[in-house]
Each structure stands twice: as C-alpha cells, then as structure tokens.
Amino acid sequence: MKVLVGIKRVLDPQVKARVKADKSGIDLTNAKMTMNPFCENAVEEAIRLRESGAIEEVVALSIGAAKSEETLRNALALGADRAILVLTEEVLEPLALAKVIKAIVEKENPDLVLVGKQAIDDECNQTGQMLSALLDWPQATFASKLELVDGTAQVTREVDAGIEVINVNMPAVISADLRLNEPRYASLPNVMKAKRKPLDKIELADLGLDTANRLTTLEVMEPPARAAGIIVETVGELVEKLRNEAKVI
C-alpha cells in the first residue's frame, strides 16, 4: 500500500507578514518559509502508518517554486520514502492544486491521499474536498484519529457538534487536523540521509492541465492597529465603561 502526502510551503507562522508596497499581496522576499503545520500532521500520520506496517511507502508531493524542494527534503528527513515536486512560479488556487494532485494520483496510484485540512496562508480548506470530487473517491475531513482496517479507513472527525467516527472505503482522501498527532523533529542523521532520497521534478506545463486562476486579488491590506487598553481602578468604573463606552451591557 502507498500513501501520497500533499505538502505546502508557507510563511513561517512566527514571522509577521508584510504587505507589498503596491498592496498586491504578501511580500515573501527573504522571508522565512516552512512546511504548513497541518501538512506536518499529514506527513507524521503517513510515517506512523508505515511504521505500524499498515502501508509500505510514503510519497511526499509539493506544488510550487524550486525552493519548495527544501520543504520536501524536510519531509524526507522526517521519514518519507521519496518526493515529487511539480514546478511552477504561479500561486495556484485550490481547484488548480486539486487538478495537479489528481494528475499525480493517476500516475502513482496510491491507496490513500493525506493532506492538511487547510493552509495557514489562505485558510481555504478546499483542496482536499475538491480532490475527492475530481477523483470520485470517499473523503474524511478534519481527522483527529486514523486507523486502517481491512481496506477501509476508520476516521475520527472533529465537527461542530462534537466527535464523529466514520468508515470510508479506500482509496480515499483524508485531511489532517492538528490533533491527529504530534509531529516529530528530524534528526541530523536523517537530514543527511534525506539528501540521497529520490526527488522527482515535473514541470506543471508538462501535465497539460487548465490551472488558470478564477479569482483576482484587488487589494491586500494590514488589519487596523488595535487601540491600547486601559486599567480601571474599581469594578464600578469597569461597569460604567462597559455600559457607556463599549455598549456591551
């Protein structure tokens, strides 16, 4: 059995995003980049499945610029067996990403596709669902627990009403939530080994897909600065301000 894991390279969450001078987007020049946190959970779960003997191979996939190779090498250092990089300088929307992943799925024939439930840069939470529709595969989103049993995936999902447990037939698409696991750190020996693991590169144009964006960003701006807080001396003063200034009581 084989698992394909989708990985996205994003701005490090500890770094403050800077808006470009022309307000056309976020300035990533010399910015620290990292693997999307939800994708880290997907990679960790795939590795755990292989370590348990449930699967035999973990293939990491990323779609983006050449620098995404660094992120894939990190996945290889964590334990993925090999990696695929679809090269493009364009920023693709979720539907285009789903089309690309579908094309790779058709080449690799995995039994399971694991992706993060969303990326922290656009917060779309759409790629996994769109991929499931394009492949006509079952899907299980927001997974906080995963078990593979007799050709099915038993998935514990975190939903608004609480916890839901479902069984889906494989092959399937599953999106990882943060509580699915605690991602490991790559050891130095594994980082060195990752440099020798196979990483295939494919030009996006060679896939012959329609990946044109359907949305146009008109303007990106920073949120307004928050006003400084104040310290009140008494409960009565607090109640007065909540009633007369904040208008919340």
State the pLDDT confidence band at 228, using cuts at 50, 70 and 90.
Answer: confident
Give the strand pairing for 2-7 and 199-203: unpaired
Q: What is the mean pLDDT of residues 144-157?
A: 93
CATH of the structural domain 2-244, one choice from 3.90.1170.50, 3.40.50.620, 3.10.450.50, 3.40.640.10:
3.40.50.620
Q: Helices in the chain by DSSP H: which ranges?
A: 37-51, 68-78, 94-108, 127-135, 188-194, 235-244
Q: Are 114 and 235 in contact (CB under 8 A)?
A: no
State the pLDDT confidence band at 243, using cuts at 50, 70 and 90.
Answer: confident
Q: What's the confidence (pLDDT) of residue 16?
A: 86
Q: What's the confidence (pLDDT) of residue 88?
A: 94
Q: What's the confidence (pLDDT) of residue 25?
A: 84
Q: What's the confidence (pLDDT) of residue 94?
A: 94
Instruction: Note the pTM of the prediction, 2 decimals.
Output: 0.86
Dump pLDDT digits (tens) for 39-52.
Answer: 999 999 999 999 99
Q: What's the confidence (pLDDT) of residue 24?
A: 84
Tokens of 25: 């987007």
Tokens of 12: 């490090």
Write down the domain spans for the chain: 2-244
Dump pLDDT digits (tens) for 200-211.
Answer: 999 999 999 999
Q: What's the confidence (pLDDT) of residue 72?
A: 96
Determine the Cα–Cα distance for residues 175 and 59; give it in Å rounded to an integer. Answer: 16
